[in-house]
Amino acid sequence: MPSSRTSSPPVALITGVTGQDGSYLSTLLLDKGYVVHGLAPTHSFGLPVDPRVTTHHADLGEGTNLSAVIDQVAPAEVYHLGAQSHVKVSFELPVYTAEVTGLGTLRLLEAIRHHQARTGRQVRFYQASSSEMFGKAVETPQTEQTRFHPRSPYACAKVYAYWQTVNYREAYGMFACNGILFNHESPRRGEAFVTRKITRAATRIKLGLAHELRLGNLDACRDWGFAGDYVEAMWLMLQQNEPDDYVIATGETHSVREFLDEVFGYLELDWKKSVVIDPQFNRPSEVDLLRGDATKAREKLGWRPKVAFRELARMMVDADLKLAEQEAVIEKHR
Ligand code: GDD
């Protein structure tokens, strides 16, 4: 049941609506009968937004306009997905990342707190926390109890936002939840992230549109799930009686190398003939291995992942093969 107790449809606001998760979450909420509003930066080059979503151009760097949007939309639920979310980029833009990913969350929490105080209406808040917060992980698998050891400016900013979310819950009684999501991918994943970079390149190589794929560290291991499954967990967190924090993961870990094996193998190609190791894609400090334990989410939310590693890789290859085929037709008529 949506959290709004009124008879009119519940209203949700999604920050980062032009991203992969924003896209899947919009569809999920619209299908459940929500009125959906989205926050998109003016300079966004993201995914197309469902025309049923009302978009607002507001920036996480600017508190005044966040307040104005919250007051105007009066959402029952806010899903805060907006961020500078690329780990490698955060080493190049650490202050910007702290501003948007860290302080941006605080600005939004403040806007919600003041809105609640003025109107007396409860707003439920979801914070997109990240498995990157575990960083140089002190134990495997990682749970809600695992100590954080962030390894990038991005992860430091996410740790800050995580604790602000906990603090607004404890200090002001806000219904605020952290979803500690492990990596989640899909055909809508941005091409700068390793899985999509690989499926895009492999399918283009298959059709002769490219010959080389330049990558960094192939030994890094990640717990990769399907973004469509993960947005459901976000919604479930906001439908509970009490706010809480949850790890969302598959419980399996695979290396980048294994992802290459899976993708190139499915296309009947040998990745060793195309992959070039390029140090420019290495990070100054790396997160070597992540694997999550989502027992709490399974027991309390009734959530479990539906798409496994192989199926995920193949789903992404199938979608990118179609894209590459379209590109091949355009090339031919050039
Ligand atoms: N992006 C990228 N590009 N990563 C590479 C490459 C490359 O060419 N070569 C190797 N890698 C390695 C990275 O060093 C990292 O260890 C791993 O592949 C995964 O990198 P990304 O796909 O960029 O994801 P991430 O794990 O750093 O972060 C993602 O997941 C987090 C957890 O959900 C992002 O989506 C974060 O925003 C998110 O919080």
Is 235 exposed, middle or buried (CB count within 10 Å of its CB: 0-12, 13-18, 19+)? buried
- Rounded to two decimals, the pTM is 0.96
The pLDDT value recorded for residue 331 is 85
For the question of residue 255 being annotated catalytic, the response is no
The CB of 217 under 6 Å from ligand 1? The reply is yes
Q: Distance from the CA of 67 to the center of ligand 1, in angstroms?
A: 32
Separation CA 217–CA 226 (nearest Å): 22
Q: Distance from the CA of 114 to the center of ligand 1, in angstroms?
A: 36
In contact, 253 and 222? CB cutoff 8 Å: yes
Task: Give the DSSP per-residue string, 201-218.
Answer: HHHHHHTTS---EEES-S
Which helix (H) or strand (E) element contains residue 114?
A: helix 104-119
Q: Distance from the CA of 184 to the center of ligand 1, in angstroms?
A: 10
Going by C-alpha positions, the residue among 155, 275, 289, 134 that lies closest to residue 216 is 275
Q: Tell me: pLDDT of 313 over 80.
A: yes
Separation CA 254–CA 281 (nearest Å): 19
Q: Tell me: pLDDT of 122 over 90.
A: yes
For the question of residue 23 being annotated catalytic, the response is no
Question: What would the pLDDT profile of 39-80 be if each residue is shown by its tens digit?
Answer: 987 666 789 899 999 999 889 998 899 999 999 999 999 999
- Using most ligand atoms within 8 A of CB, pick from 89, 193, 271 the residue to mutate for ligand 1: 193
Quick one: average pLDDT of 169-196? 98
Architecture of domain 194-221+252-286+307-332: Alpha-Beta Complex (3.90)
User: Pick the catalytic residue: 4, 26, 130, 152?
Assistant: 130
| Domain 11-185+225-248, CATH number (from 3.40.50.720, 3.20.20.105, 3.40.50.80, 2.30.110.10) | 3.40.50.720
Strands in 207-262 per DSSP E:
213-215, 221-222, 225-226, 245-248, 254-255
The CB of 227 under 6 Å from ligand 1? The reply is no
Q: What is the CA radius of gyration of the chain?
A: 20
Ligand 1 atom showing the smallest separation from residue 158 Cα? 39
Question: What would the pLDDT profile of 259-308 be if each residue is shown by its tens digit?
Answer: 999 999 999 999 999 999 999 999 999 999 999 999 999 999 999 999 99
The pLDDT value recorded for residue 4 is 46
For the question of residue 132 being annotated catalytic, the response is yes
Give the domain ranges of the chain: 11-185+225-248, 194-221+252-286+307-332
Per cent of the chain over pLDDT 90 is 93
